[in-house]
Structure 1
Amino acid sequence: MHEPYLKAMAALLRRCQPRHDLYTVFGDCVEAMAIAIVNSVDLRKRDSREARYLDIVGRYQPDIVDLFPRVLAQLVHALEAGPGDVLGALFHDLELHSKARGQFFTPYTLSRFMAQVTIGNPESVKAIIGDHGFVTAMEPACGAGSMVVALAEAMRDIGINYQRHLHVTAIDIDPRAIHMAYVQLSLLHVPAHLMVGNSLSGEMREHWYTPAHILGGWNARLAHRRHHEPADEMLADASETPCSPFPVSRAAPPPRKPGASPPAMPRQLSLF
């Protein structure tokens, strides 16, 4: 499904060789895409991001800079053909991954399986959305966004409009990974808050909000839920606070008596 577009993207990027390092050009291309998208909707830090964009394109001759929008066009066509981790696949097809850098992205087939496990009983998820309007998901090491894309696709497959009823918080320590994830989630219109940071220490350095997050008014929706729902229900919402990236741990509930109603399902879907 994505193969023709992957080949076209790889062929375009390889034109930078031997004048430029392919790994560097790939990273600059994806960062330029991310900045172009975020600056169209998010005015916060727009000037500093624009300066960064000009710094990136200023490193290359016009023929190399011209490759960036052409790669983006192929990515758009690929995602229109069907959801998937296209940039993660491209990264591997270009043989840019390495043990030294620790960059290996989850295969999309595995991500699809994990997404189905995460959702569990579709009726439970639909019931949560019926009661509360949306569910949240947390991905503490998102890479290029493979599992988030798979979750969105899995929700779509069970009849849920993820663009309206899913919000994702995603973190990765590698800025390049966040740029890749941001571009793909933006093009798929996934409401998401992505952060460059360390999920273990809670230290966050950069915040990226997808167009779906900003245009969908998700800051207000998330704030409303934090302020108007019981404290015990908010235990599932820890991912919405950058200083606390993981869901709050809870002790196992006592065994239910026969015939008792099942406990409420947390409204956060965790991905790993």
Structure 2
Amino acid sequence: MAAKSQSPKSAKDKLQDAIRSLGTTMGLNNAFTKFLELTATALGAVLDPVNAKERNQQYEDAQKGLKPDEISEFARMTALMWLSVLEYKEEPEDILGDIYHSLRLNNEWNGQFFTPDHVARLMAKLSNPVSESDSDEGYVTINEPTCGSGTMVIACIWEMKKRGFDYRNKAFFVAQDIDIRCVWMAYIQLTLYQIPAVVIHSNTLTMEAWSYWYTPNATPYLMDHMKPQGNETEVAG
């Protein structure tokens, strides 16, 4: 009797396997964190409408000390991340948060736990204030002060899609977190899911902010609401 052929692995599974593989030589947490840093800064260097030059320098700095084959493997991971988002574009979910938990990295990240997609979707369904008619009433702005991997924002646009709301042209998200690794996770996913947003590396309680990460889809909103602040840019209220 012929053995059943296994279904091909998803891009998400391939990404997780690649992180595990590289983790055998450089440590699992280091491999995952470096992947986040390189992917976030690479995307920002090309797509951030405000801080592209700074992100490019950060990307070059992040590559220092890496071997050529490691740089190549991280680039492949970035491509797999993009392919993963394409797999979930109709039903957006927190890809990186799920990988983080599958890799059991919470002990390395001070016990951080990210809200599961099904819980985040329920919360979005119960609290989401938009309807299709709201598309004609200007921008809806939503703030997530402790965004983690971006789970709640992703769940919110999942619910907006269900309601027929044009979130790409009529919504803007402000996501904040004190952990730069969470900022990178959220920025990668919100950028690739084409969500209009700024992810801010900040302390929500003290109002201290260190960096702003703009997705390319934020540009239309920023043209009407942007004001300069030092070397960065602050979203006007």
Superposition TM-score tier, normalisation by shorter sequence: 0.7 to 0.9
Instruction: Answer with 1 or 2: which has the greater Rg.
Output: 1
State the 1:240 CA deviation: 4.5
1:172/1:199 contact within 8 Å kept: yes
Distance 2:128 2:58 in 1: 39
Give the root-mean-square deviation of aligned CA atoms: 2.3
Aligned match for 1:87, one of 96, 100, 107? 96
Distance 1:240 1:42 in 2: 14
Distance 2:13 2:19 in 1: 10
Question: Residue in 2 aligned with 1:117?
Answer: 126
Distance 1:64 1:35 in 2: 16
1:1-272 matches, within 5 Å, as 4-42=10-48, 44-82=50-88, 83-98=92-107, 101-120=110-129, 122=130, 125-131=131-137, 133-214=138-219, 217-222=220-225, 240-241=235-236
Which 4+ stretches in 1 moved above 4 angstroms? 239-242
Amino acid at match of 1:67: E
Amino acid at match of 2:224: R
Distance 1:17 1:223 in 2: 41
State the 1:65 CA deviation: 1.4
State the 1:134 CA deviation: 2.1
2:49/2:215 contact within 8 Å kept: no
Distance 2:64 2:235 in 1: 36
Cα 1:45–1:99 change in 2 (3 A) is closer
Amino acid at match of 1:169: V
Cα 1:75–1:223 change in 2 (3 A) is closer
2:177/2:200 contact within 8 Å kept: yes
1:13/1:67 contact within 8 Å kept: no
2:145/2:176 contact within 8 Å kept: yes
1:207 counterpart SS class = strand
Amino acid at match of 1:89: D
State the 1:41 CA deviation: 3.1
Distance 1:100 1:185 in 2: 21
Cα 1:113–1:20 change in 2 (3 A) is same
The sequence identity of aligned pairs, in percent, is 30
Distance 2:149 2:47 in 1: 21
Distance 2:84 2:58 in 1: 27
Higher strand residue share: 2
What TM-score does the superposition give when structure 1 sets the normalisation length? 0.74
Amino acid at match of 2:78: L
Moved more, 44-53 or 155-164: 44-53
